Amino acid sequence: MVGLMTGIATIGFLWLAFKLVALGFRVLGWLLRIALVLGLIWLGLFTLPVLLIVGAAVVWELLRTVGIVH
């Protein structure tokens, strides 16, 4: 009888542990997705102005080389 109760408790504990691990992976997946989205937004916010400034500088230098602006 004690063996049967121990077996049931072990199966219940393993089932609960499996469910908690699965929940942990699900939460970790959502956290990684959120981090990816926030990282891409952060990268875009900091990269776009730099690209615009560098692009404007390149265009300005090309116009100076051609002689349109001084």
- Summarised one tens digit per residue, pLDDT across range 27-42 is 999 999 999 999 988 8
The overall pTM is greater than 0.95: no
End-to-end Cα, the chain, rounded Å? 96
- Tally of CB atoms within 10 A around 19: 10
Distance, in Å, from the CA atom of 28 to the CA atom of 35, rounded to the nearest integer, reads 10
Evaluate whether 70 touches 64 at the Cβ level (below 8 Å). yes
> Which has more pLDDT, 44 or 38?
38
Distance, in Å, from the CA atom of 68 to the CA atom of 29, rounded to the nearest integer, reads 54
Evaluate whether 69 touches 63 at the Cβ level (below 8 Å). yes
